[in-house]
Amino acid sequence: MLKKTIRFFDKLEDKIRARLSRHPIVYSLIGGVAVVLFWRGVWMTADEFSFLTGPVSIIISVSVLLLIGLFASFFVGDQIVISGLRKEKKLIEKTEEEVRSELSELPGIKSDLERIEREVRHIEELSEEQSAGNEQS
């Protein structure tokens, strides 16, 4: 029952997202309103608890964000962290030629990845066959 309910809402979400993605401005407006209403609800709920003063709220939120690994990615962004680790330029600092060059490399990387996946599958099949042969002996 739970599995069917989850599957229903998953398919519904896919259909709605597919339809709204054709209308990005409407999609943005609906999403923006929903986000604001969500945070309004969180804010109003937090106001119901007298112990959730400003400093306590900050301590709790920073602790939770650090524990679940979202602190840096939320405030800085994954791409910025990754590009910093790779010592890459920010996207706005790159020339159009550099961006086009990186984009042109993506199909080659994709084909390499697909080839590697095929090889791994082949190795797994050989390993399974070998395991089955050893069990029969």
Interatomic CA distance for residues 131 and 136, integer angstroms: 9
The residues, any chain, with a CB within 8 Å of residue 91's CB and separated by 6 or more, are 79, 99
* pLDDT at residue 80 in the model: 64
Interatomic CA distance for residues 50 and 61, integer angstroms: 16
> What are the per-10-residue average pLDDT scores of the chain (137 residues)?
90 89 91 94 93 92 87 68 65 67 82 92 88 72
* pLDDT at residue 84 in the model: 67
pTM, to two decimals: 0.49
Tokens linked to 92: 């706005």
Interatomic CA distance for residues 88 and 79, integer angstroms: 10
* pLDDT at residue 98 in the model: 73
Helix (H) or strand (E) holding 94: none
Contact 75, 62 (CB under 8 A): no
Contact 27, 20 (CB under 8 A): yes
Alpha-carbon 70 to chain mean position: 11
